[in-house]
């Protein structure tokens, strides 16, 4: 079936469409009902996600196939787990949880670095019907405490430390502080002692991972209702309180199975590498669950795109494990490009196994796309999705046939996502008109059915602004060919003398300059025009910032967008503030530019960048 036929089929009769797609999943009790307004997708079906990811493949004779590849340049450690070996570890840790009082419906917080035990803990929770909530390893104690209070876990699973390039981050002191700050008590804390930093334990509460595993038995997968929660993953909220995105078992399994085929064209036995972290939604969907449900070998990488040890790290992994599909954030490749503009490291490795490179997490600027295409000679595919949706809203349906990418576009809407562009009054807009990107309800399988213990907030955050639509919070438009262009968060639109301008378009123009590694544009208050655009630019290695470069960037923006988009200033900086997942913290930059009181988020990768930006703003803006 072609993409257009598939999309139309999903739009015309979503219930029939998804009930058919659900047949690709090994159910304990197959569903007969596709969707119920109150009970979600496949409400009469029963399955177990851990069974789908492990036992099912073993029963199909693939037990000796590699399921998980662990590669850690920061600890100089490598390991491979077959499906049989991984199931054994998962079944035993499931027993550790059960032996410590965890039952179906209980929550377990996992605060771990990028090590196999993190994935094992997730799959073990899924095996017994416990609901895991993974918190990015290294988050501040206060942030962890907030999540503990909201999730109310019976058990917390952690490690003694994580490793950031060449720095040891001790986790246990953070956990101990978080538990002292939290209002909720946690009965047991399972600690994996890593040799790089041993930690003390609290008698009666803390358990040693290895000791518990040594005496554990095995737990069989428990058939669960499709609408039983699989996990809760917290994402930042506008009120400061994080939102607990809920993922159900049934809809998620079907979405993972379908997206691995349709979006990534991944086959049984393929090596799939998502260069993310299990603390983010990408890590849930495409390090752990998606690849294993699809019968692939998944790579779990404890390292960075650069400095572990160099800008050839990604290419080395691709060669060593014959990676077929690589998925990373654009910022990873911008970092590689900044360190190695000519891609000289790429010439040292054989990446012929690599079929496609996927990017998501933030806008893929055309210059990074073109650099990757030219240097790798591989198909480079952008796609757009959110923590809330769990899989791609728009992208390249390569599993449905040949697909042509288009620079600046996130691709075509995936079957099941009824994407619309609507104005502030809720009226649908025609192609090439920019507005709010929304999705007509009901959302397809895999998307959040609610927020953890707060359905009212789910309604108010996503469904109330435009009744009948899920509001993505992003702005964009469809071009004349039906390709979706995401121009950034709606609060990244600035108003210049009555003209609404997308900072994303300006960033696209600036990033196209050969001297620019990355950039961010925000609005600066102006008594005359309301707001004016201000650009922060990081130059590539070996390129010096000059007044001539500033003039060229300003001219480029005027030429591509118009005189109304004239940049107030171009500030050359060494680094931009980013989250650990690589997203530029534009809201933080806006607050600094507006001299607002700022709260540095716990997700920031390098807090020292904030102080350096303050100095740049103080010195450069005063002189202009």
DSSP annotation string for 63-81: TTSEEEEEEETTTTEEEEE
State the Cα–Cα distance between residues 18 and 34, nearest whole angstrom: 7
Element (H, E) at 506: helix 503-511
Instruction: Express each pLDDT in 120-129 by its tens digit.
Output: 999 999 999 9
Q: What is the mean pLDDT of residues 380-398?
A: 95
Q: Is the pLDDT of residue 500 over 80?
A: no
State the Cα–Cα distance between residues 375 and 365, nearest whole angstrom: 16
Q: How far is CA 122 from each of CA 46, 72, 97, 303, rounded to the nearest angstrom?
A: 19, 20, 11, 20
Using N-to-C axis directions, what is the helix angle for 83-99 and 116-128, rounded to 10°? Answer: 60
Using a pLDDT cut of 90, give the percent of the chain over it.
71
Give the pLDDT confidence score for residue 503 in this predicted structure.
Answer: 80
Q: Is the pLDDT of residue 182 over 70?
A: yes
* 170 dihedral zone (left: phi>0; alpha: psi -120 to 50; beta): beta
Count of CB atoms situated within 10 Å of the CB of 375: 18
Instruction: Express each pLDDT in 45-95 by its tens digit.
Output: 999 999 999 999 999 999 999 999 999 999 999 999 999 999 999 999 999
Largest CA distance in the chain: 72
User: Between 212 and 593, where is the model more confident?
Assistant: 212
* 601 dihedral zone (left: phi>0; alpha: psi -120 to 50; beta): beta
Contact 175, 145 (CB under 8 A): no
State the Cα–Cα distance between residues 219 and 104, nearest whole angstrom: 13
Indicate the pairing of strand 188-192 with strand 206-208.
Answer: parallel
Instruction: Express each pLDDT in 416-470 by its tens digit.
Output: 999 999 998 999 999 999 999 999 999 999 999 999 999 999 999 999 999 999 9
Q: What is the mean pLDDT of residues 387-399?
A: 96
- Token pair of 557, please? 């923006």
- Token pair of 15, please? 């219930």
Q: Is the pLDDT of residue 621 over 60?
A: no
Q: What is the mean pLDDT of residues 404-408?
A: 86
State the Cα–Cα distance between residues 110 and 135, nearest whole angstrom: 6
State the Cα–Cα distance between residues 594 and 599, nearest whole angstrom: 14
Q: Report the range of poorest mean pLDDT among 277-291, 420-434, 451-465, 494-508.
A: 494-508
User: Between 295 and 488, where is the model more confident?
Assistant: 295
181 phi and psi angles, rounded to 5 deg: -80, -30
């590669």: which residue's tokens? Answer: 71
Give the pLDDT confidence score for residue 259 in this predicted structure.
Answer: 98
Q: What is the mean pLDDT of residues 597-610?
A: 80
- Token pair of 542, please? 């070996």
Q: What is the mean pLDDT of residues 140-161?
A: 94
Q: Is the pLDDT of residue 599 over 80?
A: no
Q: Report the range of poorest mean pLDDT among 143-147, 152-156, 412-416.
A: 143-147
Count of CB atoms situated within 10 Å of the CB of 566: 15
Give the pLDDT confidence score for residue 85 in this predicted structure.
Answer: 98
Instruction: Express each pLDDT in 234-265 by its tens digit.
Output: 986 544 578 999 999 999 999 999 999 999 99
Element (H, E) at 31: none
State the Cα–Cα distance between residues 395 and 412, nearest whole angstrom: 5
Q: What is the mean pLDDT of residues 209-223?
A: 98
- Residue 307 is classified by DSSP as S
Q: Is the pLDDT of residue 384 over 70?
A: yes
Give the pLDDT confidence score for residue 124 in this predicted structure.
Answer: 98
Give the pLDDT confidence score for residue 493 in this predicted structure.
Answer: 66
User: Between 207 and 330, where is the model more confident?
Assistant: 207
Contact 503, 522 (CB under 8 A): yes
Highest mean pLDDT: which range of 133-142, 380-389, 535-544: 380-389
- Token pair of 186, please? 């946690």
Domains of the chain in sequence order: 3-303+383-476 (3.40.50.12780), 497-622 (3.30.300.30)
Give the pLDDT confidence score for residue 581 in this predicted structure.
Answer: 67
Q: What is the mean pLDDT of residues 179-203?
A: 94
18 phi and psi angles, rounded to 5 deg: -75, -25
- Token pair of 40, please? 């979600």
Q: What is the mean pLDDT of residues 362-382?
A: 91
Q: What is the mean pLDDT of residues 343-361?
A: 96
Banded model confidence at residue 598, pLDDT cuts 50, 70, 90: confident
Banded model confidence at residue 219, pLDDT cuts 50, 70, 90: very high
- Token pair of 238, please? 């506008």
State the Cα–Cα distance between residues 504 and 592, nearest whole angstrom: 19
Give the pLDDT confidence score for residue 139 in this predicted structure.
Answer: 80
State the Cα–Cα distance between residues 69 and 55, nearest whole angstrom: 18
Burial zone of 100 (CB within 10 Å; 0-12 exposed, 13-18 middle, 19+ buried): middle
Indicate the pairing of strand 569-572 with strand 530-539.
Answer: parallel
- Residue 363 is classified by DSSP as -
Q: How far apart are the first and last CA of the chain?
A: 59
Instruction: Express each pLDDT in 540-576 by its tens digit.
Output: 888 888 889 999 999 888 877 766 677 888 999 988 9
Indicate the pairing of strand 224-225 with strand 46-47.
Answer: antiparallel
Give the pLDDT confidence score for residue 490 in this predicted structure.
Answer: 67
State the Cα–Cα distance between residues 273 and 114, nearest whole angstrom: 13
């Amino acid at each position: 079936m072609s993409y257009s036929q598939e999309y139309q089929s999903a739009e015309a009769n979503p219930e029939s469409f998804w009930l058919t797609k659900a047949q690709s999943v090994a159910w304990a009790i197959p569903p007969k009902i596709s969707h119920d307004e109150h009970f979600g997708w496949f409400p009469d079906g029963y399955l177990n996600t851990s069974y789908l990811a492990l036992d099912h493949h073993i029963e199909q004779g693939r037990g000796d196939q590699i399921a998980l590849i662990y590669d850690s340049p920061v600890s100089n450690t490598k390991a491979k787990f077959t499906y049989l070996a991984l199931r054994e570890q998962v079944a035993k840790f499931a027993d550790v949880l059960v032996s410590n009082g965890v039952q179906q419906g209980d929550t377990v917080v996992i605060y771990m670095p990028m090590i196999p035990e993190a994935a094992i803990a997730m799959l073990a929770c899924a095996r017994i019907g416990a609901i895991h909530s993974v918190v990015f390893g290294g988050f501040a104690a206060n942030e962890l405490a907030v999540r503990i209070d909201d999730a109310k876990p019976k058990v917390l699973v952690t490690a003694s430390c994580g490793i950031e390039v060449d720095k040891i981050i001790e986790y246990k002191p953070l956990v101990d502080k978080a538990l002292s700050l939290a209002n909720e008590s946690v009965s047991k804390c399972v600690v994996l002692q890593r040799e790089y930093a041993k930690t003390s334990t609290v008698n009666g509460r803390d358990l040693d991972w290895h000791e518990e595993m040594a005496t554990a038995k095995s737990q069989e997968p428990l058939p669960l209702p499709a609408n039983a929660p699989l996990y809760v993953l917290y994402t930042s909220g506008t009120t400061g309180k994080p939102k607990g995105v809920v993922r159900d078992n049934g809809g998620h399994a079907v979405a993972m199975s379908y997206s691995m085929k349709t979006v990534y064209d991944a086959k049984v036995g393929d090596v799939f590498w998502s260069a993310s972290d299990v603390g983010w939604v990408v890590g849930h969907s495409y390090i752990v669950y998606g690849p294993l449900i699809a019968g692939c070998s998944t790579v779990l990488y404890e390292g960075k795109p650069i400095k572990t040890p160099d800008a050839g790290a990604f290419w080395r992994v691709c060669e060593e494990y014959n990676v077929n599909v690589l998925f990373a954030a654009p910022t990873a490749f911008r970092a590689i490009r900044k360190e190695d503009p000519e891609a000289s490291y790429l010439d040292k490795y054989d990446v012929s196994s690599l079929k496609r490179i996927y990017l998501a997490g933030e806008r893929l600027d055309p210059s990074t796309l073109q650099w990757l295409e030219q240097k790798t000679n591989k198909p480079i595919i952008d796609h757009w999705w959110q923590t809330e949706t769990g899989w791609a809203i728009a992208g390249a349906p390569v599993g449905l046939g040949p697909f042509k990418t288009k620079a600046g576009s996130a691709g075509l809407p995936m079957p099941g996502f009824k994407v619309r562009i609507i104005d502030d009054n809720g009226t649908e807009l025609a192609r090439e008109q920019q507005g709010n990107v929304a999705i007509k309800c009901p959302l397809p399988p895999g998307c959040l059915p609610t927020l953890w213990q707060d359905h009212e907030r789910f309604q108010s955050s996503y469904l109330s602004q435009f009744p009948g639509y899920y509001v993505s919070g992003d702005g964009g438009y469809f071009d004349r060919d039906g390709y979706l262009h995401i121009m950034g968060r709606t609060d990244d639109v600035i108003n210049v003398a009555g003209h609404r301008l997308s900072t994303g378009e300006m960033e696209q123009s600036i990033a196209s300059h050969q001297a620019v590694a990355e950039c961010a544009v925000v609005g600066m208050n102006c008594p005359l025009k309301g707001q004016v655009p201000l650009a922060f630019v990081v130059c590539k290695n070996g390129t010096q910032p000059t007044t001539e470069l500033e003039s060229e960037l300003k001219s480029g923006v005027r030429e591509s967008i118009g005189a109304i988009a004239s940049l107030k200033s171009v500030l050359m900086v060494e680094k931009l503030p980013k989250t650990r997942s690589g997203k530029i913290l534009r809201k933080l930059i806006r607050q600094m530019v507006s001299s607002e009181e700022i709260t540095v988020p716990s997700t920031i990768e390098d807090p020292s960048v904030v102080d350096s930006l303050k100095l740049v703003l103080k010195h450069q803006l005063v002189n202009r």
